[in-house]
Amino acid sequence: MPLDWGNTNNNKVPHVNTIIQDINSPQLKEDSAELSLPIGRAKMSHWQFDGIRMIHSDWVYNDCKSMTWQADIDIVHLHFNLKGQFTVSPLEGHMPLHFAANTHNMLYTNMGASTMKNEELEASQFILQFTRDSFLQLTEHSDEALQRFADKVLSRKIGTLSPQSLPIDLSMQQNINSILRCNYQGGIKKMFLFSKAIEMLVLQAASYHQTHHHTNAVVRTPYDRERLHFVRDHLLENLENPPTLSALARMAGLNEYKLKYGFKELFNTTAFGFVAEQRLELARTYLRDQHKSVGEIATMLGYSSIQHFSTAFKKKFGCSPNKAR
């Protein structure tokens, strides 16, 4: 049984049995399902191969309560909380670990049961799991932070990468989006997903160093971070017609200085540099649809002309939109 969930109030365990069983299969296995459970409703997608499992889920819970969960095998969890808030316990030092929206951490539970309390009714997560053996192999010659965590896994000691969950940065979000939008098939898709799994490990290690060895000059409070994530999400929903900087500031409840420089500090790009990057990433996805012309895609994404779109696309990807099809 991949995951057992139970209500801690009555100890009844509704089993979630949709995740494909063999995580060590050399062949890529994937599936998706809509679930209706005593704890709520969920849409889940799974990909797994060679000791790696990826899970994306969108939940609508019936209410906020504590639930128990337990993994089926000895695995390391890379948890990316995209929406909602929850707390997991017990973990290292028996201190609860809180996940706000747009935060991440790495967990090892040694197959022990943990308690999760959801604090909002809607939630979305991306979870990357490695079997204990595959994780130790991949991190054998890694950096100090990953090696320290790997030492805990090697000794089967329950632990986390960071004492507090860390903010999801732009590179992580783009990596998750590329996984969810991947249209490759078969062996090529497996190669693509493997490369992204390794990249997520690297990005988590980089995030740890960025957070613990760098002092933010502009983004100083959880409120600042939450508001800037709101700005990012609003821009993602309005790529074809983004609001002005002053309009964004008013919507987010920030002054323009904090919006401009805080966005750059948090996501390593400007707000409208972010829009340009996301437009081009989305364009590359749209170009796989042979029913849409290059002109239609340019218009959909808010470019003033096909020439402007083609120039920006070639500058980023090294080829014209037509050659990318």
Asked if residue 172 and residue 100 are part of one domain, the reply reads: yes
Q: What share of the chain is helix, strand, coil (3-state, %, to 5)?
A: 40, 25, 35
- Tell me which of 212, 245, 279 is where a domain ends: 212
d(CA 316, CA 308): 13
Residue 95: which CATH number?
2.60.120.10
Among 212, 246, 281, the domain-final residue is 212
Contact indicator for 115, 8 with CB cutoff of 8 Å:
yes
Residues 148 and 278 placed together within one structural domain of the fold: no
**DSSP secondary structure string, 167-200?**
E--HHHHHHHHHHHT----HHHHHHHHHHHHHHH
The residue type at 241: N
Q: Which DSSP letter does residue 163 get? A: S
Closest CA to 300 of 313, 288, 286, 321: 286
Instruction: Give how far Cα 211 sits from Cα of 45, 155, 216, 258, Å.
Output: 30, 26, 9, 19
pLDDT in tens, 28-81: 999 999 999 888 999 999 999 999 999 999 999 999 888 887 777 899 999 999
Same domain, 257 and 186: no
The model's pLDDT over 292-311, given as tens digits with 9 standing for 90+, comes to: 899 999 998 889 899 999 99
pTM: 0.74
Predicted confidence (pLDDT) per residue in 100-125, tens digit: 989 999 999 888 878 888 999 999 99
| CATH number where 295 lies | 1.10.10.60
Residue 15 φ/ψ, nearest 5 degrees: -85, 135
Based on the domain organization, do 199 and 249 belong to the same domain?
no
Torsion over CA: 283, 289, 294, 295 (sign): negative
What is the model's pLDDT at position 7? 53
pLDDT digits (tens, 9 = 90+) for 217-264: 788 888 898 999 999 999 989 988 899 999 999 999 999 999 999 998
Helix (H, G, I), strand (E, B) or coil at 82: strand
Whether 15 has a pLDDT exceeding 60, the answer reads no
Q: Are residues 114 and 263 in the same domain?
A: no
* Cβ pair 270, 263 in contact under 8 A: yes
At which of 164, 191, 212 does a domain end? 212
Which residue is listed with tokens 């490369």? Answer: 195
The answer to whether the CB of 301 falls within 8 A of the CB of 240 is: yes
As for how many domains the chain has, the answer is 2
Q: Are residues 197 and 243 in the same domain?
A: no
Are 183 and 234 in the same domain? no
Containing structural domain, residue 257: 222-317
C-alpha span between 321 and 325 (Å, rounded) = 7
